[in-house]
Structure 1
Amino acid sequence: MPKLIGDSLATHREQVRERVFAALRAQLYERGFEAVTLSGVAAAAGVGRSAMYNHFPDRQALLVAFVEAEAARYVADLDAALAGVSSPAERLAVFARMQLRRLAEFHLPPGQALAGALDPQAYRRIAAHADPIGDRLAAILHDGAADGSMVAEGPDVLAALVSAALTSRRIVDVAPSELDATVETAVRAVLRMVSTPSRD
């Protein structure tokens, strides 16, 4: 019987998942999903292959579980960051900044490429995790329209434009020394995109 990590089976399973996810995160960053194998992740995580297959029967199951865990953590972090911010413009700046930072750190193929790498059911499960994030953006834009600080026409179109801007890898694929300035430039551009014209 394999040695337990932690003081219970539940703790063991959770710690194995965390080690596997950490190894997968590193491999996604270094090589991309196409180069990831279960055996490679297991070796990097220090987990036996049989234990790995008990948790994740295939690459797709591993990726879906990883994205679910990352998305839940990210939405919790996003909600915490937005909770102390009052104005819609400031909330949108926080949202945009976090989205771009996440994009810089999270290395998955873009939507269409990912759709081709996964079966339809697995892709739908991963895509569903964008819904709570989109809901936060829609709420910010709605509040901005309500107080007159943001344009009210076509909120769905506006949300789609902002989302598209914040998922462009070209923004964050820069040298690490340039990332802070690039992110702030993009945040200012997003704010200008949605702000109502000045009445000065």
Structure 2
Amino acid sequence: MPKIIGGSLHEHREQTRQKLYAALSALMAERGFDAITLAEIAQVAGVGRTAVYNHFPDKESMLLGFITHETEQYAATLQRSLDDIEDPVDQLSTYVRQQAQLKRVYHVAPGPELRSVLSRGAQQRVREHVVIVEMILRRILAAGIASGAFPEQDLEVTVPLVNACLSGRGVPDDGADRERAIEQTEAFVLRAVGAAAPVPA
């Protein structure tokens, strides 16, 4: 019988999942999702190959679990970063900066986009978790409209436009170029929703 990690079976299962997610993330950063196998993930995680199937029936379900976990963790971190900020303009600036940080710690590249890797059903389940983050942006914009910080606008249009801008924006990894790119993105988004934004240096 395999050795139990942690103080209980529940803790053991959770810690094993975290090891699998860490291995999946590391391998995706090297080669992309389509180029790795469950056997490689198990090896890097230090988990028996058969034990992987106690958690995930296939590679797609593991990726889906990983994305769900990461999205929930990110949404909680994002909400904590906003809890002590009252001004909707400052909240939106923080949202933009958090999105830029997200791209550094969570990505599926290199390799094909998720649309070409996941089945349609899995894509829909990913979409359901993305909505968690969109709801935070929607609350920020609604509060800004209510306070007069942003003009009246259709949030059904604005929310996906803002997120499309952020998800498609390449940000350098380090240094002054990175900060300048984030500042310009922040100013662009604030202008796009009708807020007064400082001109980047």
Q: TM-score, normalised by structure 2?
A: 0.89
1:84 aligned partner? 84
Q: Which amino acid aligns with 1:32?
A: G
Distance 1:7 1:194, change over 3 A: same
Q: Is the 8 A contact 1:85 1:91 kept in 2?
A: yes
2:188 aligned partner? 189
Instruction: Provide the rounded CA distance (Å) in 2 between the counterparts of 1:193 and 1:142.
Output: 15
Q: Is the 8 A contact 1:171 1:183 kept in 2?
A: no
1:59 aligned partner? 59
2:178 aligned partner? 179
Instruction: Provide the rounded CA distance (Å) in 2 between the counterparts of 1:197 and 1:181.
Output: 18
Q: How far is the alpha carbon of 1:181 from its aligned partner?
A: 2.8
SS of aligned partner of 1:54: coil
Q: How far is the alpha carbon of 1:160 from its aligned partner?
A: 2.0
Q: Which amino acid aligns with 1:191?
A: L
* Structure 1 segments unaligned to the other structure (5+ residues): none
1:105 aligned partner? 105
Q: Is the 8 A contact 2:20 2:42 kept in 1?
A: yes
Q: Is the 8 A contact 2:149 2:195 kept in 1?
A: yes
SS of aligned partner of 2:85: coil
Instruction: Provide the rounded CA distance (Å) in 2 between the counterparts of 1:109 and 1:176.
Output: 18
Q: TM-score, normalised by structure 1?
A: 0.90
Aligned residues: 195
Q: Which amino acid aligns with 2:58?
A: D
Residues 1:135 and 2:135 aligned together:
yes
Q: Is the 8 A contact 1:23 1:41 kept in 2?
A: yes
2:121 aligned partner? 121
Instruction: Provide the rounded CA distance (Å) in 2 between the counterparts of 1:2 and 1:18.
Output: 17
SS of aligned partner of 1:77: helix
* Structure 2 segments unaligned to the other structure (5+ residues): none
Q: Please, what is the CA RMSD of the aligned residues?
A: 2.0
Distance 1:36 1:179, change over 3 A: farther
1:32 aligned partner? 32
1:155 aligned partner? 155
Instruction: Provide the rounded CA distance (Å) in 2 between the counterparts of 1:81 and 1:187.
Output: 16
Instruction: Provide the rounded CA distance (Å) in 2 between the counterparts of 1:23 and 1:109.
Output: 15
State percent identity of aligned pairs.
Answer: 37
Q: Is the 8 A contact 2:32 2:108 kept in 1?
A: yes
Instruction: Provide the rounded CA distance (Å) in 2 between the counterparts of 1:194 and 1:51.
Output: 49
